[in-house]
Amino acid sequence: MTGPQRHDELKVEGNQSLSNALSLIDVLRASHMDKGVRELSRELGLAPSIVHRLLVSLRERNYVEQDPVTTKYRVSARIFNAAGSLPPACAFLDKGMIGKLTQFAQHVGMDGYVGVMRGNSVIYVATTATRFTTADATVGDQTYLHTTALGKALLAGLESRKLNTIARMIDLTPRTDRSIVSTRNLMQEIKAVQRDDVAFCRGENLENIFAIGVPLRNDENHTVASVSFATQEYAHFMQAQDIVTQYLREKVQAMFPMTGSVPASF
């Protein structure tokens, strides 16, 4: 009959589990793509059962996320917030580019945002140093796919199977009385974004916040992020649509020379 484990044995066991968990996070953090249990098992040299247990524990504590379609894993925004850094797929961002976005935001009197998709949400990866609206969004914050210009632009960049899957999983509880509340209406809106290559938020996420957004694509024409500009005045939103849309399509895309095949959700 096996006796109780000694304190020092438990300590060694705990240290090993922590070391394995940190190694797992390092692998996911360095990757541009989601990874499955067996792939992580091979890279870490650990049994699949051990990797699975670690992933379950990390997911419960919101350190990793699981893609609802592929069931593969990625690190969560919490990791990057704690480290004060961004995912590898956001390497296209630099201070010069954000500075140019801020200059344009100042020029048109709007706030600018850059976002990427993580699971069923949008994560802000950059914001301009302007305060023309009361929207309190900072880097690392999450927002909604179906009620924001950022989110709609990201959804429009998904291949049809993944778009249909995620659209069915989105919680359509209204944020305002203008919010989309049915999957059918959401899909119609996304088709319009795909057709016109521009997304709009007409007070659907926050009262009296109106935004214009477009997808950012890499050299393989895959959507990797989205960028939007927002205002609190509807008249301003209507008047600025042409100049903002032109700037987003022509100038901003040229500022983000992205390579590789990083998907919209990573």
Give the pLDDT of residue 12.
41
pTM for this entry: 0.69
- Same domain for 53 and 117? no
- Same domain for 35 and 100? no
Q: Kindly report, residue by residue over 32-91, the tens digit of the pLDDT.
A: 678 999 999 999 999 999 999 999 999 888 788 887 778 899 877 666 555 555 555 555
Residue with tokens 């504590």: 61
Query: What whole-number percentage of the chain has pLDDT above 90?
Result: 48
**Assigned domain for 136 exists:** yes
- Same domain for 41 and 173? no
Give the pLDDT of residue 137.
86
- Same domain for 43 and 138? no
Q: How many domains does the chain have?
A: 2
Q: What is the mean pLDDT of the chain?
A: 84
Q: The CATH number of the domain where 67 resides is what? A: 1.10.10.10
Check whether 93 has a pLDDT greater than 70. Answer: no
Domain end position, chosen among 26, 54, 83:
83
- pLDDT tier for residue 179 given thresholds of 50, 70 and 90: very high
Domain end position, chosen among 34, 58, 83:
83
**How far is the C-alpha of 183 from the C-alpha of 203, rounded, in Å?**
18
- Same domain for 98 and 182? yes
For residues 213-231, average pLDDT: 89
Structure tokens at 67: 């893609």
- pLDDT tier for residue 11 given thresholds of 50, 70 and 90: very low
**Assigned domain for 264 exists:** no
Give the pLDDT of residue 118.
79
Lowest mean pLDDT among 4-18, 48-62, 129-143, 216-230: 4-18
- pLDDT tier for residue 197 given thresholds of 50, 70 and 90: very high
**Assigned domain for 1 exists:** no
For residues 156-164, average pLDDT: 93
- Burial environment of residue 242 by CB neighbours within 10 A (0 to 12, 13 to 18, 19 or more): exposed
Q: Give the residue from 164, 138, 167 showing the smallest Cα distance to 151.
A: 167
- Same domain for 199 and 232? yes
Structure tokens at 169: 């999983």
**Assigned domain for 263 exists:** no
Give the pLDDT of residue 80.
59
Q: The CATH number of the domain where 93 resides is what? A: 3.30.450.40
- pLDDT tier for residue 135 given thresholds of 50, 70 and 90: confident
- Same domain for 70 and 171? no
Contacts of 189 (CB under 8 A, 6+ apart): 152, 180
Residue 198 φ/ψ, nearest 5 degrees: -155, 140
Burial 55-80 (b: 16+ CB within 10 A, else e): beebeeeebbbbbebeebbbbbbebb
What residue numbers bound the domain in which 97 lies? 89-255
Give the pLDDT of residue 41.
94
- Same domain for 210 and 246? yes
Give the pLDDT of residue 262.
41
Domain end position, chosen among 83, 115, 143:
83
Residue with tokens 């778009």: 163
Give the pLDDT of residue 92.
58
Check whether 123 has a pLDDT greater than 60. Answer: yes
- Same domain for 56 and 143? no
- Same domain for 98 and 75? no
**How far is the C-alpha of 126 from the C-alpha of 141, rounded, in Å?**
10
**Which 8-state DSSP code applies to residue 251?**
I
For residues 243-254, average pLDDT: 86
Check whether 128 has a pLDDT greater than 50. Answer: yes
Lowest mean pLDDT among 39-43, 61-65, 109-113, 225-229: 61-65
**Which 8-state DSSP code applies to residue 62?**
T
- Same domain for 68 and 146? no
- pLDDT tier for residue 108 given thresholds of 50, 70 and 90: very high
Structure tokens at 190: 């996304």
**Assigned domain for 67 exists:** yes
Give the pLDDT of residue 34.
83
**Assigned domain for 58 exists:** yes
Residue with more model confidence, 3 or 177: 177
Q: How many Å is the Cα radius of gyration of the chain?
A: 21
**Assigned domain for 206 exists:** yes
**Are residues 210 and 230 in contact, defined by beta-carbon separation less than 8 angstroms?**
yes
- Same domain for 223 and 168? yes
